[in-house]
Amino acid sequence: MSNQSGMFSSAVNLDLGASAQTAPAAAAAASDDDAVHDVVIVGSGPAGYTAAIYTARANLNPVVLAGSVTAGGELMNTTEVENYPGFIDGIMGPDLMGNMQQQAERFGADIRYEDVVSVELEGEIKTVTVEDGTVLRARAVIISTGSEYRKLGLPDEDRLSGHGVSWCATCDGFFFKGQNIAVIGGGDSAIEEATFLTKFADKVTLIHRRDEFRASEIMRQRALDDPKIEILWNTKVTGINGENKVESLDLEDTVTGEASELAVTGLFVAIGSDPRVGLVKDQLELTADSTIAVDGRTSTTSLPGVFAAGDVVDPTYRQAITAAASGCVAAVDVEHYLAALDS
């Protein structure tokens, strides 16, 4: 969808798509919770569903714990996805995730719309406990719980997300050709986003609450040298204005307290993200970025039989296609792991 209409992919306030929320009777009938499952997958974003498609086609009868309100993952909160290969005219995020869900079910994946509340990942048989107290046992577990962009916490941020407010320049920069936009943040990723956005926007205002960047020297210099980037130091955003799409930002000088208004049509929030590692942080090794540590290009974690995929292992790329590819890697790693145990 073009930004002329004020809509683009990063809308975080849409209803969850009905198609991806419907648990099929066939899948429920397939469950046998006294059994030891070959593999349980936690998460149903592109990583979890891709892992489900591959493990189901490998006859491993995966159980997918999809989450109770967040099934389908981050793309459920999106309008148009234009960069997922195979869809010439783009596809709505919830439709893409509904397709992945149905594709996994077609091969027999048992998808349950429940939240996992705890996991025990040591030993040959792992346990995964869901909110109603059901305990699933499995020989292998794939963790694909994604990661969450940090928000500013402003009242109109969610209302205008997808209508000028975004967390992803790679996803949405294209929609801002020839426009004046702003980026908030002071780390490497904020400067990277701002620099990337100069390919499209006429002007990018980089807003930072302090008088120096946290970013590395090379990134700092890149921002200072870029003629399309203007930096507003000691400034915080106190409001986002616009009826149906972003029209301006309310700003406040953090030193003098002086208020001002900046006319922009887009706002990219680049203040970091938090990998969802709450379930496993005491059991698996994490990286300095708080993602789950995996061995090289594999999905192998610090515990045998436990694999991780998608944004929860990825501090850098965080796209649907990279998450899906990572889910494939995890599925193949599980296949090899179980085959080695059985041989």
Ligand X SMILES: Cc1cc2nc3c(=O)[nH]c(=O)nc-3n(C[C@H](O)[C@H](O)[C@H](O)COP(=O)(O)OP(=O)(O)OC[C@H]3O[C@@H](n4cnc5c(N)ncnc54)[C@H](O)[C@@H]3O)c2cc1C
What's the gap between Cα 200 and its chain centre?
Answer: 23
* Contact criterion met (CB below 8 Å) for 45 and 72: yes
* Residue in this structure with the two tokens 């981050």, named with its chain if needed: 74
For residue 98, give the nearest of 17, 20, 16 by alpha carbon: 20
Give the pairing of strands 248-253 and 235-241: antiparallel
CB of 162 to ligand X, least distance (A): 7
Q: Between 42 and 232, whose beta carbon lies closer to ligand X?
A: 42
Give the type of residue at 309. Answer: A
Q: What are phi and psi of 140, to 5 degrees?
A: -140, 150
Q: Between 213 and 307, whose beta carbon lies closer to ligand X?
A: 307
Q: What residues are paired with 205 via a beta bridge? A: 182, 230
CB of 174 to ligand X, least distance (A): 10
CB of 72 to ligand X, least distance (A): 6
Q: Between 67 and 242, whose beta carbon lies closer to ligand X?
A: 67
Question: Which residues are annotated as catalytic?
Answer: 168, 171-172
CB of 246 to ligand X, least distance (A): 15
Q: What are phi and psi of 330, to 5 degrees?
A: -60, -40
Give the pairing of strands 165-166 and 63-65: unpaired
CB of 106 to ligand X, least distance (A): 19
Segments of the chain assigned E as strands:
36-42, 63-65, 80-81, 91-92, 110-112, 116-120, 126-130, 135-143, 147-149, 165-166, 180-184, 203-207, 229-232, 235-241, 248-253, 259-263, 266-269, 273-275, 306-308
Q: Between 87 and 233, whose beta carbon lies closer to ligand X?
A: 87
Per CB under 6 A, residues contacting ligand X are 9-10, 12, 42-48, 65-67, 70-75, 77-78, 81, 83-84, 115-116, 144-146, 149, 167-168, 171, 276, 279, 310-311, 318-321, 323
Q: Between 79 and 179, whose beta carbon lies closer to ligand X?
A: 79
For residue 309, give the nearest of 10, 16, 45, 38 by alpha carbon: 45
For residue 197, give the nearest of 185, 208, 183, 212 by alpha carbon: 183
CB of 127 to ligand X, least distance (A): 14
Cα(207)–Cα(204) distance, integer angstroms: 9
* Contact criterion met (CB below 8 Å) for 47 and 323: yes
Q: Between 235 and 301, whose beta carbon lies closer to ligand X?
A: 301
